């Protein structure tokens, strides 16, 4: 009963499996339609009532404002404030009034009332108080809509409640009616159908009250009667079929045993098996055949034989006679790989012309591959042997020639048949000095891993180099089969080795001996001097003077031709037993041997110098040659070749320092000087790193008022063991070794740093200028301007406080580069001065191109200024030249009052020298800025 009730509830609301319900949909549609109608009517009534109430409160407000104006007219006219107050309070006691305000024509408030706590909407009215044609005041009032809104809320609540109750009543009524008239008869129909579905075909529906349901029940009863009749007939057929099935099961069991025996035989064999019918359709295959071709059994069964093995196999099977047939085929597997097979086929006739073909298939691909590989191997070996580049021979254990490759004719000029006569035919053409190599090979005494090189003569008489290699060969059972020899033509390699040996010992440009051969010749000369008394030799190190100018001005091609010309001249000037070597670049070495006396070497070198001084014309250019020579004469205590070259090099540099085109003979004092220079170079490098350097500052004076206008920074070196070293002792060394770059950067950075410190501490230092000297090698650096500007930025030093002094020679040697660099400095605000003017080779036109600020007269002119009028005129000309170019002039080296007077009279603006002050330390310059007084003590 409980279950039936639950089922009813489910039917009334929704079905258990989520399907649509007629009763539910019908009830929902009725309820929805009535709900819409009731909702529309309720809404219409609500909005009608709302509009009526709104009009009512509007009318009430109009009525109140009308009576209120009449009531307050006379009190306002008579300014009867008590009466006005009583009238207004009577009205304002009405809770519907939100505010009331009475004003005179001037806007003065006569009465004002505002009800507190008002939050509802208001209905406002305003009307003028008029007597006759005059306005005597104004009344403003507002009524609250709070009561109106409460009334609307009640109406809305009642309407909504009515709507909900109506919908609920309609919903319940509709559900009860549907339950009685539709769902209950439908449930009876369903119960009957459930019984039929369970197999009760005897069930019949009773007669129903309503016509529609009665027709459904009648048709259902006829259907169940028909089903019952057919069920009886099926039972009779089933009994008959059961007997036939039992008979077939007994026959199938017997057939299954026979098939198992057949399948066991076919499935386990390693040979492939297939069976095709008369139409060549695959009827059966075994696993071995499937693996052989890469198919699975299901793919093969029912397929045509031609689809699996191809048309060729199909044709061969079709041509089989009544007897057995055997043949080989090449077929494609499923992966398109070739498979070689051997087929043994037999026909089995079943009845009349119907037959089956049985075939056992063997995969012979591996056998075929091995046979083909053996054939190819034999063919490959023969091809290699017949076409090999080397001359191959096989001499058996009895000394007979078993094989000679055709390459023997290319190597020796003789045919294969010539050498087939015996090994002695080879021995006949071998160089007599190398026949022992051949004999040892033939006799089995010289089998080594390294090839043996020997010479032989071709049939045309030409000699060839061959490389001989060989080893003894053995059979599989260890028996000797003789000797296998290989002779390779290495004539070209021998020639190249000889050429490489020559190139390894000679300069590729000039053909002279190179450094390696030169050292070897020196070693030989030293060894001979040890073995023989009164044996003298000399090593001369020669370096062309100003060769770089030739390369830079005329190009390296002309420079190379000049080196070749020098080499040819040197070879003509020395003896055949002497050695001329190009050591590198423009450096040459002369090894002079078998000298009668040591001084004879000087005579030879002088002859070389005189001959080289003759001009040479190359590509239309006349070039004058000179060289510097350094010589080491035997006997000497230095016997190592490198040491002899080092000493000759030292002597050569002494010749260059002495003015070039000179000859210097090495002595131990030169070595000491070189060692001293090297020591100083190392010490200077360490001194820069260890901050052993410092700056002194020499004041620069104005000749007009004798005031200090700046300082020149001068570097000093306080050596830890040697004490104070002046610039003249280490600046040239720094220039020569390249340390001038590090030294210059140090000086520039230190000058900027110290000048910045003075500017920050002393106001008088702000207009001072510190001059920093830049050497010629420094000026050759492309990044010099970037370095200067970087230090100015690093120390935040104004550019006008620094002045760069560059020598006249340095500027003129790089005039194009100088203009660009000086323009950059000028644009940055850095002042530029030309130093040591008068010692170089600048001209008026050159100076006009350079953006300069100042010109410094070299001290050599200043010191001679009071010795003659000619010297005064020279200085005067320099000063006038500078002024014409818009430059200031500084005279350096002023040492007495007379020099100062002359310079001042000539218009020189500035001067420096011992007359004014000696170079000052950092502390003394700082003292000057503090006190304004220079102290040189």
Task: Name the band, by pLDDT with cuts 50, 70 and 90, for residue 781.
Answer: confident
Q: Would you call 117 exposed, middle or buried from its count of C-beta atoms within 10 A (0-12, 13-18, 19+)?
A: exposed
Tell me the per-residue pLDDT of 204-234, one tens digit each, with 9 for 90 and over: 767 766 676 777 777 777 777 777 777 777 7
Q: In the predicted model, what is the mean pLDDT of residues 493-510? A: 84
Average pLDDT over residues 94-111: 85
Q: What is the mean pLDDT of residues 876-900?
A: 91
Give the pLDDT of residue 925: 92
Q: What's the confidence (pLDDT) of residue 386?
A: 63
- Structure tokens, 790: 């970087």
Please state, in angstroms and rounded to a whole number, the distance separating the CA atoms of residues 435 and 457: 12
Q: Tell me how far apart the terminal alpha carbons of the chain are, to the nearest angstrom.
A: 135
And the tokens for 913?
């020298």
In this predicted model, what pLDDT tens digit does every residue of 816-862 receive, in sequence order? 788 888 899 999 999 999 887 866 555 555 677 788 899 998 888 89
Strand partners, 927: none
Confidence of residue 201 (pLDDT cuts 50, 70, 90): low
Cα 286 from Cα 272, distance rounded (Å): 6
Provide the pLDDT for residue 10. Answer: 44
Q: Which of 89-93, 637-641, 744-748, 766-770 is least confident? A: 637-641
In the predicted structure, residue 12 carries a pLDDT above the cut 50: no
Q: In the 8-state DSSP scheme, what is residue 154?
A: H
Which range of 301-310, 384-393, 702-711 scores highest in mean pLDDT? It is 702-711
3-state secondary structure 641-694: HHHHHHHHHHHHHHHHHCCCCCEEECCHHHHHHHHHHHHHHHHHHHHHHCCCEE
pLDDT of residue 93: 84
Question: Which of residues 392 and 220 earns the better pLDDT score?
Answer: 392
- pLDDT tier at 566, thresholds 50, 70, 90: very high
Does residue 13 register a pLDDT over 50?
A: no
CA-based R_g, the chain, Å? 65
Residue 529 contacts residue 635 (beta carbons within 8 Å): yes
How does DSSP assign 255-323, residue by residue?
HHHHHHHHHHHHHH-SSEEEEE-TT-BEEEE-HHHHHHHT--HHHHTTSBHHHHH-HHHHHHHHT--SS
- Confidence (pLDDT) at 351: 58
User: What is the mean predicted confidence (pLDDT) over 489-502?
Assistant: 84
* pLDDT of 322 over the 80 cut: no
- pLDDT at position 21 is 65
How would residue 352 be classed by pLDDT, with cut points 50, 70 and 90? low
Angle at 682 between CA 679 and CA 686, to 5 degrees: 135
Please report the pLDDT score of residue 793 as a whole number: 93
Closest to 281 measured CA to CA, from 263, 300, 262, 259: 300
The predicted-structure confidence for 585-611, as pLDDT tens digits, reads as follows 899 999 999 888 888 888 999 999 999
Q: Is the confidence at residue 434, as pLDDT, over 80?
A: yes
Q: Cβ distance 655 to 630 under 8 Å?
A: yes
Cα–Cα distances (Å) from 409 to 417, 455, 470, in that order, read 10, 16, 19
Listed residue (691, 679, 664) closest to 737, CA to CA: 679
Task: Please state which of the ranges 382-391, 795-804, 880-889 shows the lowest mean pLDDT.
Answer: 382-391
Q: What is the average pLDDT score of the chain?
A: 83
pLDDT of residue 912 exceeding 50: yes
What band does 888 get if pLDDT is binned at 50, 70 and 90? Answer: very high
Average pLDDT over residues 683-711: 89
> Does pLDDT of 288 surpass 50?
yes
802-807 and 831-837 strand pairing: parallel
Kindly tell me if the per-residue pLDDT of 486 is higher than 50.
yes
Residue, of 721 and 231, whose pLDDT is higher: 721
Q: How many Cα atoms are found within 13 Å in the side-chain-facing hemisphere of 889?
A: 26
Residue 191 parent element (H or E): helix 184-197
| pLDDT for 681 beyond 80 | no
Q: What band does 759 get if pLDDT is binned at 50, 70 and 90?
A: very high
* pLDDT reported for residue 701: 94
The answer on pLDDT for 178 being more than 80 is no
Q: Of all helices (H) and strands (E), which one includes residue 629?
A: strand 627-633
Q: How does pLDDT run across 324-342, given as a tens digit for each residue?
A: 778 888 888 888 888 888 8
Please provide the DSSP assignment of 876-892 as one string. HHHHHHHHHTT-EEEEE
Element (H, E) at 208: none
* Residue 23 scores a pLDDT above 70: no
Residue-by-residue DSSP string for 351-382: ETTEEEEEEEEEE-HHHHHHHHHHHHHHHHHH
Q: Would you say residue 932 has pLDDT above 70?
A: yes
pLDDT tier for residue 156 given thresholds of 50, 70 and 90: confident
Task: Show the tokens assigned to 636.
Answer: 């000497």
Q: In the predicted model, what is the mean pLDDT of residues 460-486?
A: 85
Q: What is the pLDDT of residue 6?
A: 41
Triad 175, 176, 179: Cα angle to 5°? 85
């Amino acid at each position: 009963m409980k279950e039936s009730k639950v089922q009813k509830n489910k039917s009334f609301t929704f079905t258990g499996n989520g399907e649509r319900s007629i009763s539910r949909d019908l009830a929902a549609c009725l309820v929805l339609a009535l709900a819409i109608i009731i909702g529309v009517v309720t809404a219409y009534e609500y909005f009608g009532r709302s509009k009526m109430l709104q009009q009512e409160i509007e009318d009430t407000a109009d009525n109140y404002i009308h009576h209120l104006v009449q009531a307050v007219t006379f009190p306002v006219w008579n300014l009867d404030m008590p009466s006005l107050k009583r009238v207004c309070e009577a009205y304002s006691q009405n809770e519907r009034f939100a505010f009331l305000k009475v004003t005179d024509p001037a806007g003065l408030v006569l009465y004002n009332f505002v009800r507190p706590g008002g939050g509802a909407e208001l209905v406002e009215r305003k009307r003028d108080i008029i007597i006759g044609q005059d306005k005597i005041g104004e009344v403003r009032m507002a009524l609250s809509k709070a009561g109106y809104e409460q009334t609307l809320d009640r109406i809305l609540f009642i309407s909504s409640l009515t709507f909900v109750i109506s919908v609920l009543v309609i919903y319940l009524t509709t559900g009860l009616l549907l339950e009685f008239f539709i769902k209950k008869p439908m449930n009876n129909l369903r119960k009957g159908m459930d019984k039929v579905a369970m197999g009760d075909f005897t069930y019949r529906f009773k007669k129903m009250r309503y016509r529609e349901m009665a027709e459904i029940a009648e048709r259902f009863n006829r259907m169940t009667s028909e089903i019952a009749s057919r069920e009886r007939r099926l039972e009779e057929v089933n009994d008959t079929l059961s007997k036939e099935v039992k008979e077939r099961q007994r026959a199938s069991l017997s057939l299954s045993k026979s098939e198992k025996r057949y399948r066991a035989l076919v499935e386990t064999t390693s040979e492939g098996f297939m069976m095709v019918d008369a139409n060549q359709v695959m009827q059966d295959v075994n696993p071995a055949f499937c693996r052989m071709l890469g198919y699975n059994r299901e793919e093969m069964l029912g397929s045509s034989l031609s689809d699996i093995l191809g048309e060729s196999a199909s044709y061969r099977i079709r041509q089989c006679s009544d007897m057995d047939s055997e043949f080989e085929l090449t077929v494609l597997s499923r992966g398109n790989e070739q498979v070689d097979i051997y087929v043994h086929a037999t026909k089995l006739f079943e009845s009349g012309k119907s037959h089956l073909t049985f075939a056992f298939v063997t995969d012979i691909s591996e056998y075929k591959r091995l046979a083909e590989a053996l054939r190819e191997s034999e063919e490959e070996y023969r091809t290699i042997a017949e076409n090999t580049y080397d001359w191959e021979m096989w001499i058996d254990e009895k000394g007979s020639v078993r094989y000679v490759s055709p390459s023997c004719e290319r190597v020796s000029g003789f045919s294969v048949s010539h050498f087939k006569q015996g090994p002695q035919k080879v021995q006949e053409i071998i160089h007599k000095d190398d026949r022992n190599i051949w004999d040892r090979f033939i006799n089995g005494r010289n089998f080594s891993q390294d090839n043996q090189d020997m010479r032989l003569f071709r049939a045309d008489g030409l000699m060839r180099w061959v490389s001989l290699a060989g080893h003894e060969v053995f059979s599989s059972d260890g028996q000797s089969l003789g000797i296998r020899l290989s002779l390779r033509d290495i004539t070209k390699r021998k020639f190249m080795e000889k050429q490489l040996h020559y190139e390894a010992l000679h300069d590729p440009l000039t053909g002279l001996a190179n450094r390696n051969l030169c050292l070897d010749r020196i070693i030989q000369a030293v060894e001979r001097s040890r073995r023989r008394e009164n044996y003298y030799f000399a090593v001369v190190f020669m370096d062309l003077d100003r060769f770089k100018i030739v390369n830079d001005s005329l190009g390296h091609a002309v420079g190379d031709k000049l080196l070749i010309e020098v080499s040819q001249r040197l070879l003509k000037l020395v003896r055949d037993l002497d050695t001329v070597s190009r050591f590198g670049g423009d450096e040459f070495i002369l090894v002079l041997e078998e000298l009668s006396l040591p001084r004879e070497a000087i005579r030879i070198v002088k002859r070389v110098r005189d001959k080289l001084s003759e001009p040479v014309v190359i590509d239309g250019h006349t070039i004058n040659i000179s060289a510097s020579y350094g010589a080491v004469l035997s006997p000497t205590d230095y016997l190592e070749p490198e040491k002899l070259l080092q000493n000759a090099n030292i002597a050569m540099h002494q010749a260059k320092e002495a003015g070039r085109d000179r000859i210097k003979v090495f002595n131990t004092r030169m070595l000491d000087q070189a060692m001293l220079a090297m020591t100083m170079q190392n010490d200077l490098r360490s001194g820069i790193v260890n901050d052993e350097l410092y700056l002194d500052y020499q004041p620069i004076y104005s000749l007009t008022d004798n005031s200090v206008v700046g300082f020149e920074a001068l570097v000093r070196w306080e050596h830890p063991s040697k004490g104070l070293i002046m610039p003249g002792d280490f600046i040239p060394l720094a220039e020569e070794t390249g340390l001038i770059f590090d030294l210059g950067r140090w000086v520039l950075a230190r000058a900027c740093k110290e000048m910045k410190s003075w500017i920050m501490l002393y106001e008088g230092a702000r207009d001072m200028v510190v001059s920093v000297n830049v050497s010629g090698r420094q000026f050759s650096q492309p990044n010099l301007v970037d370095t200067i500007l970087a230090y100015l930025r690093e120390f935040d030093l104004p550019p006008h406080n620094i002045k760069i002094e560059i020598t006249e020679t340095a500027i003129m040697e790089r005039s194009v580069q100088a203009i660009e660099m000086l323009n950059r400095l000028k644009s940055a605000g850095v002042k530029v001065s030309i130093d040591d003017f008068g010692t170089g080779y600048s001209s008026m036109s050159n100076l006009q191109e350079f953006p300069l600020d100042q010109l410094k007269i070299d001290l050599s002119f200043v010191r001679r200024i009071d010795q003659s009028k000619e010297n005064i005129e020279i200085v005067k000309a320099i000063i006038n030249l500078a002024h014409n170019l818009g430059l200031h002039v500084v005279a350096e080296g002023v040492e007495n009052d007379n020099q100062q007077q002359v310079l001042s009279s000539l218009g020189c603006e500035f001067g420096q020298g011992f007359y004014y002050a000696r170079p000052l330390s950092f502390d003394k310059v700082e003292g000057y800025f503090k006190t304004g007084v220079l102290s040189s003590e």
